[in-house]
Each structure stands twice: as structure tokens, then as C-alpha cells.
């Protein structure tokens, strides 16, 4: 407790200096449980959760607002401040609901430290090494279909093979109610695959380099887009994003993606945080969500969600910014 207390104090007063891990670190679920069993903390958390009920856009009267701010300020000196969640963890949604209680826009001014919902993943690092080895040999082996090799590699790994079979069968199964497939079931299985299988496999499958359309078509088909991606019509991107933000998991995946894939022209990798591996990881975190991205065709490596900015009215700029995060992002 002393360690955590000290950690949060440092984190609160260190400004832009980033301290990423705490040896006694707790996720929001644990922090929430600890808080709930504390007579001082518990009512404050309850108050705060009422303040941000719904999507947090509720207009608060001046009295309620100050009550909310007091609760928030008090909670900043508990382990709740700075708590995060693990992607794919048990009760992920509950964990994220606590995270967002402290990060809702209504009380935005009080959030002192730049934050993102998910704990950094250690397991992202190996892929970066593998990818750089792969890049070096890429030009020499143009006849080899790396996407095919990745599929073979996945078949040899027990978890990869099992969860890939699971999502493929979930995504191609016809559904009596909703027609050619059961999209929610397909999405759930896709999320399980990308949350549980090590990126060594998933990233090789999804980001394999291609020089011909056969390879690129195979790569585009990885997520069974006919079920998980395409629809008859293209919805407006901002409508899609709004739906995403109403779900704690989707909202968090999107927030994480924005954080990890923030581009910078001044960095060697193109990524502001110089961590291309975690950007790719955040990208796969979006698969199976409302804003699932995929390759747009089989002749380029362009990716984006299945949506359009055509009918955006006076929100066009905002809509284009959303799409640009996929289409023109040097980090991604
Ligand atoms: C590439 O996409 C085009 C347009 O969707 C399609 O007609 C073509 O068959 C695809 N190529 C391959 C090799 O699958």
C-alpha cells in the first residue's frame, strides 16, 4: 500500500514524465474492489459513477457538478487513479467501466495524467524483432507467399490453430435470423483470436508482406470480411464511431489505438511513441468491434473501417480526420 501510495503521488506530480509500471500495480477491477470495501472511498466512487452515467454527456447542474468534482478529486489519491485494464481479461467490460468513470469527458479537466485504458503488453516486443528480420529478406523471396507460410505456422501452434478454426467456423456459419452469417458471434470469436493468440502468429497472418494480388487477397480474407466487415451499405463513419463509443470495450480499443498509433514525422518509426509493435497490437484490438478495420482491396496495403464520410454534412472534417487515422497514418 505504501508503495502504491507513493507511486500514485509521483505519477500525479510528475507532469509529462511518464512512469509506466508500478510493481504493486493494480488493474481497475482490483482498485474498484479495494475502494468498495473502504468506507470513505466507496461512496465517492458511487457518486462518480452516477455523475458519468450513460455516455457522460448528461448536463450537470452547478450543485451536482461540484459534488462530482469533489468525488473525482478525492478519488485521485486512491489506487483508482491511473488504474488500467488488461486486454481480453476476465470481466474486461467491468474493469473498463471503472476506468471510464475516471476518464469521462464531463470531468475531463480533472484528469491530470495522459492516460490510456490498457496496460502495456510485454508480449508485443517479440514481433517487432521478427518483423525486422522478415523485412530484410522480403525482397529476396518474392516468390514465397508469406501469408501462406503464416497460415501454416498458425496450424502448427495449438492455440492459434484452435482459435482460428473457431472464428472461421463462427464466421462462415449461416444464421437463421440474420442471414448469411451471425456477425456478433463471428466478431466475438475474432476478438478472442486476436486477444489470446500471441502476436507472433496473428501479426504474421494479418500483416504479411505481399507483392501480388493473390497474396493480398488471401491477406484481405484473413478476418472473413464477408461476415465481419462488409455490409450492403456503407454507414457513415461518425455513426459507426458513435456506436463504438457506447460500448466500453470498443471505446477503449479505439482510445488505445489512437494513443499507440499516434503519428509523428519527427520519429524514425513514424510513431510518436516509437513503438510500431504496440500500434499493430492496438490495430488488431479493433478487429471484431463496431469499427473493425480491414484491407480495402487486393492491390494495396491500405486499411480502414467499412464506412464512408459521404453524407457527413457539416461534420465532414471530423469524419475525414477519423478516416485519415487509418488511411494516412505513417505510424500504422
Ligand atoms: C482482387 O479484387 C478484385 C475486385 O474485388 C477481384 O475481381 C479479383 O478477383 C481479386 N483478385 C484475386 C486474385 O482474388
Instruction: With beta carbons less than 8 A apart as the criterion, state whether 159 and 182 touch.
Output: no
Choice from 210, 212, 217 to test ligand 1 binding pocket (greatest atom count within 8 A of CB): 217
Over pLDDT 70: what percentage of the chain?
Answer: 80
Instruction: Using the 3D structure, point to which of 171, 195, 230 is the last residue of a domain.
Output: 230
Q: Whose CA is nearest to atom 13 of ligand 1?
A: 214
The Cα 266–Cα 15 span in angstroms is: 22
Rounded to the nearest angstrom, the distance between the alpha carbon of 298 and the centre of ligand 1 is 6
Q: Is 127 within a domain?
A: no
Pocket lined around ligand 1, Cβ cut-off 6 Å: 213-214, 217, 298
Same domain, 195 and 248: no
Q: Pick the residue with more confidence: 1 or 205?
A: 205
Mean pLDDT of the chain: 84
Rg (CA), the chain: 21
pLDDT band (50, 70, 90) for residue 54: low
pLDDT at res. 18: 47
Instruction: Using the 3D structure, point to which of 104, 121, 154 is the last residue of a domain.
Output: 104
Query: Any idea how long the chain is?
Result: 332
Q: Is 124 within a domain?
A: no
60-72 pLDDT, tens digit each: 677 788 888 888 8
Q: Is 115 within a domain?
A: no
Q: Is 121 within a domain?
A: no
Rounded to the nearest angstrom, the distance between the alpha carbon of 217 and the centre of ligand 1 is 7
212-246 pLDDT, tens digit each: 898 899 999 999 999 999 999 999 999 999 999 99
Mean pLDDT of 117-134: 58
| Residue 113 scores a pLDDT above 60 | no
Of 61-75, 133-147, 259-273, the range with the highest mean pLDDT is: 259-273
Rounded to the nearest angstrom, the distance between the alpha carbon of 127 and the centre of ligand 1 is 29
Same domain, 176 and 159: yes
Q: Is 45 within a domain?
A: yes
Over pLDDT 90: what percentage of the chain?
Answer: 59
Instruction: Using the 3D structure, point to which of 77, 104, 131 is the last residue of a domain.
Output: 104
| Residue 209 scores a pLDDT above 50 | yes
Alpha carbon 229 to chain centroid, angstroms: 17
- The span from the first CA to the last CA of the chain, in angstroms, equals 39
Cell representation of residue 278: 504496440
Mean pLDDT of 251-274: 93
| Residue 2 scores a pLDDT above 60 | no
| Residue 248 scores a pLDDT above 80 | yes
Q: Pick the residue with more confidence: 155 or 140?
A: 155
| Residue 59 scores a pLDDT above 70 | no
Rounded to the nearest angstrom, the distance between the alpha carbon of 20 and the centre of ligand 1 is 45
Q: Whose CA is nearest to atom 2 of ligand 1?
A: 298
Cell representation of residue 77: 489519491
Same domain, 269 and 204: no
Rounded to the nearest angstrom, the distance between the alpha carbon of 212 and the centre of ligand 1 is 11
- Taking CA atoms, 126 is separated from 18, 80, 155, 281, in Å, by 23, 31, 20, 12
Q: What is the domain range of residue 89?
A: 28-104
Rounded to the nearest angstrom, the distance between the alpha carbon of 304 and the centre of ligand 1 is 18
Report the CATH number at residue 238. Answer: 1.10.220.110
Q: Is 321 within a domain?
A: yes
What total number of domains does the chain contain?
A: 3
| Residue 136 scores a pLDDT above 60 | no
Q: Is 172 within a domain?
A: yes
Choice from 298, 299, 300, 301 to test ligand 1 binding pocket (greatest atom count within 8 A of CB): 298
> Angle 122-127-129 (CA atoms, 0-180°, nearest 5)?
105
287-297 pLDDT, tens digit each: 999 999 999 99
Q: Pick the residue with more confidence: 195 or 79?
A: 195
Q: Pick the residue with more confidence: 15 or 286?
A: 286
Burial (CB < 10 A; 0-12, 13-18, 19+), residue 202, is: buried
pLDDT at res. 20: 45
pLDDT at res. 217: 93
3-44 pLDDT, tens digit each: 555 655 565 555 544 444 444 457 899 999 999 999 999 999
Same domain, 275 and 224: no
Amino acid at each position: 500500500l505504501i508503495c502504491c501510495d507513493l507511486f500514485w503521488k509521483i505519477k500525479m506530480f510528475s507532469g509529462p514524465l511518464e512512469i509506466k509500471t508500478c510493481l504493486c500495480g493494480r488493474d481497475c477491477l482490483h482498485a474498484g474492489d479495494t475502494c468498495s470495501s473502504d468506507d470513505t472511498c466507496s461512496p465517492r466512487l458511487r457518486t462518480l459513477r452516477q455523475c458519468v452515467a450513460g455516455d457522460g454527456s448528461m448536463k450537470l447542474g452547478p450543485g451536482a457538478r461540484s459534488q462530482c468534482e469533489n468525488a473525482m478529486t478525492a478519488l485521485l489519491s486512491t489506487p483508482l487513479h491511473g488504474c488500467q485494464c488488461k486486454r481480453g481479461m476476465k470481466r474486461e467490460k467491468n474493469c473498463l467501466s471503472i476506468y471510464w468513470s475516471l476518464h469521462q469527458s464531463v470531468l475531463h479537466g480533472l484528469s491530470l495524467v495522459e492516460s490510456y485504458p490498457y496496460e502495456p503488453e510485454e508480449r508485443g516486443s517479440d514481433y517487432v524483432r521478427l518483423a525486422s528480420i522478415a523485412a530484410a529478406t522480403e525482397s529476396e523471396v518474392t516468390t514465397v507467399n508469406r501469408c501462406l507460410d503464416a497460415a501454416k505456422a498458425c496450424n502448427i501452434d495449438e492455440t492459434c490453430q484452435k482459435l482460428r478454426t473457431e472464428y472461421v467456423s463462427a464466421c462462415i456459419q449461416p444464421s437463421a435470423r440474420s442471414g448469411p452469417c451471425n456477425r456478433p458471434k463471428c466478431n466475438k470469436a475474432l476478438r478472442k483470436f486476436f486477444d489470446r493468440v500471441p502476436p507472433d502468429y496473428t501479426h504474421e497472418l494479418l500483416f504479411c508482406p505481399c507483392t501480388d494480388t493473390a497474396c493480398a487477397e488471401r491477406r484481405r480474407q484473413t478476418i472473413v470480411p464477408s461476415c465481419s466487415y462488409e455490409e450492403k451499405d456503407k454507414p457513415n463513419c461518425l455513426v459507426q464511431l458513435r456506436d463504438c463509443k457506447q460500448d466500453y470495450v470498443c471505446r477503449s480499443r479505439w482510445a488505445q489505438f489512437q494513443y499507440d498509433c499516434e503519428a509523428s514525422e519527427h520519429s524514425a518509426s513514424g510513431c510518436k511513441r516509437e513503438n510500431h509493435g504496440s500500434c499493430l497490437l492496438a490495430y488488431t484490438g479493433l478487429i471484431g468491434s463496431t469499427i473493425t478495420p480491414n484491407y480495402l482491396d487486393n492491390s494495396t496495403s491500405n486499411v480502414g473501417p467499412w464506412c464512408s464520410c459521404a453524407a457527413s454534412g457539416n461534420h465532414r472534417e471530423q469524419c475525414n480526420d477519423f478516416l485519415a487515422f487509418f488511411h494516412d497514418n505513417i505510424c500504422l
